[in-house]
A and B are shown apart, each in its own frame.
Chain A
């Protein structure tokens, strides 16, 4: 199933529209809707509920517990609350850039999931340049941040937007360089190929077989990537573009109601996309014990593990200053990721 045809092609077979342009389009939309809904519902759980619960657990509190089991229905209550709020459009905002920014933010993250193999046969598309595509699409978010910051006609937003650009510049490059070291191992940019390569056994300890997940093969790259990813998605200690205590809410200061929901959604989708990339590149994608058909479960578990890590960092670490972050990025991460790339190249070249 893992190496099966992409999801839309199998939907075509189930539908009576044939494999013409119409059938392909309908199948693609249905497949995308399935993946999109899955990710959005995870975000819905993560945003209004899990984030509160996790933070509460870290800080000795209870958090939401009044509506439904474990307070889960707060998701519905919050959705209604947020959507029914007045959308305030400040004077002097630069429309339509101001209106587009939240859409760009949310959709760029969502589009990235198109090439992620999620197991259980859920894999929308598998282009040969899948890895490049996912990084390219994820960094469109930076554009959204600049749009939001620049168009809001607010100095705090402006500062937030500028910080976002500086930060993303400093972290895109190490991120891609570390990913390139994985490509050296796998020899392919295709996501399904990267996952397939990690299924090979690394070593056997009696009944337990440790697969060649790249997190085990190259833990150094894994740690670097997790850090760089934290910076990419802008969570503590790197939530500098938002920095609530310094610049109010950064680029999202002027957004309310639905636009705020979209930005919030975009942020969480980005965390999950980051988790998906980490899972695919380093943790064997949907691989895990049990039959292959439950691959999706393992995949979601891995994404949530990354999500929990971001929440842990949020609760425990102070925020860096923007100049310190740039310094860490250009002087630390870039050098380390280059070293990692060269080392990997040498190892791969000598062994292979």
Chain B
């Protein structure tokens, strides 16, 4: 399998840059046994033993190099895995691959051989829904404990049944832990986390060390699994789901997450959003991005500097200002719950001048602060020695793992949904997508720092717009029915550019006011998967730095 993109124009692409699904169907030939219409893009139905064939055709020949998400679900008569494919060059070109398998024998071929990111996605599908994947290199539970009985998102799962697991079945934490044989036996196994100063939450990294160097790492996630998908499936579209996204990436990226749900649901139910509300959304989302990137910067500095030092506090000081602005706007500091389907909850606070003044004060002070960060962090020679050329993630590998956000852009992948798959008001505004070619920890930090400046540009333009917006035209919400019941069997997958990368939502409606399947594509989940590639052969401090540079939030990884 070649990792290089095909150089000729992709098959199945029309001259104006949209997907020609008939041509794709011809390309797939007999592998595609049917075609489904999803709201975001058509999907081809593929036999469970021809998954790899279909996907590699789409990857190699049609140029779909980005496996955005894998959704698994159970219908009354079958299981289904849906592979959502996109292109890094143009994420509006989408196609789905639907793989139905019978209920009595839920075995489907693994896509891991074509897209490495499928490894974790399929483990999750196996864990939560119960589909087994043939040829999967390591099909184990990923979010739930190894000893869990049943698959909670399956239809026959009985949540009332107690999970009785005898103690002896649990893995013994004190078992002998030298791994390898012969010459490899002098490696040392060490648990970094779940309680460790640098894991940014409850993450457990099973690490094999050869001296000070990392021989192997395996992130063990799921400590913060809170059944977010299931909770959303039990909530109504109109009001009950919106508070949950705040709790995925809970460190100040709330509105970005809310937007992911809002975008998916609005596309599904065909709801328009007034332009005025889009501007407010754009502004508040970018404020969240600044807050989130500040936190990422501060905690990364914490990992590299080694203590709660000046940089950490400065980053938090500046984040605090953003939090205050967001508190003025939404009434909350973390769990904003500000977006509504079809708009936002309320207009900017009165007196408007004072609120805009607050934002402008922050924006005016920002260049000086950014300069300070560059002085203190990025131009510090020790910092450069530590971060340049460590934790390298080449672009081809990043694409294989479905990396997005600053992690992808730090590897030189020019991919940003705000520009490539426009939503909100971004298209009308003047800003740039930041990329760095270094592929290392340093680039990822630099990307975030520079993105803060771009976000500031966006916010400034939004404030200008809002200030001049005619008073009679300030519509904050469109008319949305009190009870939202999208058409039965409508399926949609939509992503937005959250602080950490593409945050996607898949929803399937069964005609009721609650989604039949609600799947979250978490950017942190996919980005964390790259950790192993980044850190093999590096030193322990670089492992910690790489983990910090990924900027994961475990609430979003585990959902």
* Chain A residues within 8 Å of B, Cβ to Cβ: 55, 58-61, 155-156, 159, 163, 236-237, 239, 243-248, 314-324
A59 and B310 within 8 A (CB)? yes
Q: Please give me the residue from chain B that is nearest to A323 by CB atom.
A: B539
Known pairs A320-B385, A321-B539; A239 contacts B317 (CB<8 A):
no
Chain B min CB distance to A98 (Å) = 19
Give the docked Cα–Cα distance between A58 and B308 (Å).
11
B314 and A59 within 8 A (CB)? yes
Interface segment, B161-169, B190-198, B333-341, B430-438?
B190-198
Report whether over half of chain B's contact residues are helix, strand or loop; otherwise say mixed: helix
Residues of chain B contacted by A319 (CB below 8 angstroms): 304-306, 382, 386, 541
A316 and B376 within 8 A (CB)? yes
Partner of B544, one of A245, A322, A323: A245
Give the docked Cα–Cα distance between A3 and B340 (Å).
82
Known pairs A155-B188, A246-B540, A246-B544; A320 contacts B382 (CB<8 A):
yes
Chain A min CB distance to B433 (Å) = 28
Chain A min CB distance to B199 (Å) = 10
Report whether over half of chain A's contact residues are helix, strand or loop; otherwise say mixed: helix
Known pairs A59-B309, A59-B310, A318-B306; A246 contacts B541 (CB<8 A):
yes
Q: Please give me the residue from chain A that is nearest to B380 by CB atom.
A: A318
A59 and B541 within 8 A (CB)? no
Q: Nearest 5 CB-CB pairs, A to B?
A: A59-B313, A245-B198, A319-B306, A318-B383, A318-B305
B307 CB–A CB distance under 8 Å: yes
Give the docked Cα–Cα distance between A323 and B386 (Å).
11
Give the docked Cα–Cα distance between A289 and B314 (Å).
39
Known pairs A155-B188, A317-B305, A321-B386; A60 contacts B376 (CB<8 A):
no
B382 and A318 within 8 A (CB)? yes
Q: Please give me the residue from chain B that is nearest to A247 by CB atom.
A: B540
Residues of chain B contacted by A236 (CB below 8 angstroms): 305-307, 309
Q: A159-B540, A243-B306, A319-B382 are in contact. List 5 more A-B contacts (CB 8 A).
A: A246-B544, A315-B310, A316-B309, A317-B305, A321-B542
Chain B min CB distance to A83 (Å) = 25
Q: How large is the interface on B (under 10, 10 to 19, 20 to 34, 35 or more residues)?
A: 20 to 34
* Chain B residues within 8 Å of A, Cβ to Cβ: 188, 190, 196-198, 212, 301-310, 312-314, 317, 376, 380, 382-383, 385-386, 539-542, 544
B307 and A248 within 8 A (CB)? no
Give the docked Cα–Cα distance between A314 and B307 (Å).
8
A155 and B307 within 8 A (CB)? no
In the assembled complex, 10 residue pairs joining A and B whose CB atoms fall closer than 8 Å, in A order, are A155-B188, A159-B212, A236-B307, A245-B544, A246-B541, A247-B540, A316-B310, A318-B305, A318-B306, A322-B212
B197 and A248 within 8 A (CB)? yes
Residues of chain A contacted by B301 (CB below 8 angstroms): 318
Q: Please give me the residue from chain B that is nearest to A163 by CB atom.
A: B212
Residues of chain A contacted by B302 (CB below 8 angstroms): 245
Residues of chain B contacted by A156 (CB below 8 angstroms): 190
Residues of chain B contacted by A237 (CB below 8 angstroms): 306, 382
Chain A min CB distance to B305 (Å) = 5
Residues of chain B contacted by A316 (CB below 8 angstroms): 309-310, 376
A321 and B306 within 8 A (CB)? no
Give the docked Cα–Cα distance between A247 and B188 (Å).
14
Residues of chain A contacted by B386 (CB below 8 angstroms): 318-321, 324
Chain A min CB distance to B280 (Å) = 31
Give the docked Cα–Cα distance between A314 and B312 (Å).
13
Partner of A60, one of B212, B308, B314, B380: B314
Most B-side CB within 10 Å, residue of A239, A246, A320: A246
Residues of chain A contacted by B314 (CB below 8 angstroms): 59-60
Residues of chain B contacted by A239 (CB below 8 angstroms): 306
Give the docked Cα–Cα distance between A247 and B190 (Å).
10
B385 and A324 within 8 A (CB)? yes
Q: Please give me the residue from chain A that is nearest to B305 by CB atom.
A: A318
Q: Please give me the residue from chain A that is nearest to B190 by CB atom.
A: A155
Chain B min CB distance to A311 (Å) = 10
Chain A min CB distance to B317 (Å) = 6
A322 and B541 within 8 A (CB)? yes
Residues of chain B contacted by A324 (CB below 8 angstroms): 385-386
Chain B min CB distance to A314 (Å) = 6
Residues of chain B contacted by A322 (CB below 8 angstroms): 212, 539, 541
Chain B min CB distance to A349 (Å) = 36
A245 and B197 within 8 A (CB)? yes
Known pairs A155-B188, A246-B540, A324-B385; A61 contacts B305 (CB<8 A):
no
Give the docked Cα–Cα distance between A316 and B188 (Å).
33
Q: Please give me the residue from chain B that is nearest to A242 by CB atom.
A: B306
Give the docked Cα–Cα distance between A243 and B386 (Å).
14
Q: Please give me the residue from chain B that is nearest to A319 by CB atom.
A: B306
Most A-side CB within 10 Å, residue of B302, B313, B314: B313
Q: Please give me the residue from chain B that is nearest to A91 by CB atom.
A: B174
A60 and B313 within 8 A (CB)? yes
Residues of chain B contacted by A58 (CB below 8 angstroms): 309-310
Give the docked Cα–Cα distance between A244 and B303 (Å).
9
Give the docked Cα–Cα distance between A283 and B314 (Å).
35
Give the docked Cα–Cα distance between A163 and B212 (Å).
9
Q: Please give me the residue from chain A that is nearest to B207 by CB atom.
A: A155
Residues of chain B contacted by A315 (CB below 8 angstroms): 307, 309-310
Chain A min CB distance to B124 (Å) = 29
Most A-side CB within 10 Å, residue of B376, B386, B541: B541
A244 and B306 within 8 A (CB)? yes
Residues of chain A contacted by B312 (CB below 8 angstroms): 59
Residues of chain A contacted by B376 (CB below 8 angstroms): 316
Q: Please give me the residue from chain B that is nearest to A155 by CB atom.
A: B190
Give the docked Cα–Cα distance between A142 and B317 (Å).
39
Known pairs A60-B313, A61-B313, A155-B188; A323 contacts B305 (CB<8 A):
no
Residues of chain A contacted by B540 (CB below 8 angstroms): 159, 246-247
Residues of chain A contacted by B306 (CB below 8 angstroms): 236-237, 239, 243-246, 318-319
Give the docked Cα–Cα distance between A233 and B197 (Å).
23
Give the docked Cα–Cα distance between A58 and B307 (Å).
13
Most A-side CB within 10 Å, residue of B302, B310, B539: B310
Residues of chain A contacted by B383 (CB below 8 angstroms): 318
Give the docked Cα–Cα distance between A60 and B307 (Å).
15
Residues of chain B contacted by A320 (CB below 8 angstroms): 382, 385-386
Chain B min CB distance to A104 (Å) = 25
Give the docked Cα–Cα distance between A55 and B190 (Å).
32
Residues of chain B contacted by A155 (CB below 8 angstroms): 188, 190
Q: Please give me the residue from chain A that is nearest to B377 by CB atom.
A: A318
Most B-side CB within 10 Å, residue of A60, A245, A323: A245
